Amino acid sequence: MPLSKTEIKSVCVYCGSSFGNDEAFKTAAADLGQILAGAALRLVYGGGGVGLMGETARSAYEAGGKVLGIMPQFLRGREILFDDVETRVVTSMHERKMMMFEESDAFVVLPGGVGTLEEVIELLSWRRLDLHNKPVVFLNINNFWQPFFDLIDYTLKAQFTPPAFKYTYVSVDRVEQVLPAIAEMASVERQIDTRRVV
C-alpha cells in the first residue's frame, strides 16, 4: 500500500544511543534512514550522533532526506549532537518527548534500552487513552522486541490491560515492511474516524 504523503509527512524513530550487540541493528537503522529519505519523509529523532540514532539520522541525511533532531541541553555531551542536520535544543526530557510527538505523524521503534522503552510506553499509553491515533510500528529485528510483546501479553492475560491494546501497534521483521505497515495503520484509523463521524 503506498504511503499517503498528504497525511504522513514526518516519521519519528525511537532507538538506542548505542549500537547493541548485533550488527543487524546498525544495518537496519541505516536502511531505515535511506528508506525514509527515498520516500520524502522527514525523520524526527532524539538529536544524537551516536549509536543507532546517529546511524539512522546520518543515513537519511546522506540520502538527501530532511532530518530534525531534538536534544535536551543536559545530554549534549553524552549523545553528541549531529550538527549537519536541523537540531532543536530543549530544556528537559519531557519537552523533548512532547516536541518529538508533535512534530511526527507516525512512529518507528528500533532496538534500544530503557530510554527507548520509556518513550514507547508513554506513546502507547497515550494511544490506549485515545490521546492520539498515530501509527506505531516496531521493527523487530532478530526478534529483539519479543520479550516486550510477551510482557504485554502477560498483562492482557492478567486483565490489567484491555484486549484492544493489541491494536495500538504493529510489529514487522524487515525494514522494507515499515512504510507499508504505517500506511496500513493510517488507513485503518481513517476508517475508524469515518465511522465515528457517522
Enter the pTM of the model: 0.90
Question: What angle, 0 to 180 degrees and rounded to 10, lies between the N-to-C axes of helices 93-102 and 114-128?
Answer: 50
Name the DSSP class of 74: G
- Distance from C-alpha of 187 to C-alpha of 115, rounded to nearest angstrom: 30
Q: What is the pLDDT of residues 140-173, one digit of tens each?
A: 999 999 999 999 999 999 999 999 999 999 999 9
Q: What is the pLDDT of residue 198?
A: 32
Instruction: Give the dihedral sign, CA 79/84/85/86.
Output: positive
Question: What angle, 0 to 180 degrees and rounded to 10, lies between the N-to-C axes of helices 178-197 and 23-38?
Answer: 60
Q: Over the chain (198 residues), what is each successive 10-residue block's mean pLDDT?
A: 64 96 98 98 94 96 96 80 87 94 97 96 93 96 97 96 93 98 85 42
Q: What is the pLDDT of residue 190?
A: 56
Walk me through the domains of the chain, giving residue ranges and CATH numbers: 10-197 (3.40.50.450)
Strands (E) located in the chain:
10-14, 42-45, 67-72, 86-90, 106-109, 136-139, 170-172
Q: What is the pLDDT of residue 187?
A: 85
Contacts of 11 (CB under 8 A, 6+ apart): 36, 41, 42, 43, 44, 104, 105, 106, 107, 108, 182
- β-pair partners for 71: 89
Instruction: Determine the residue type at 121.
Output: I
Q: What is the pLDDT of residue 124?
A: 96
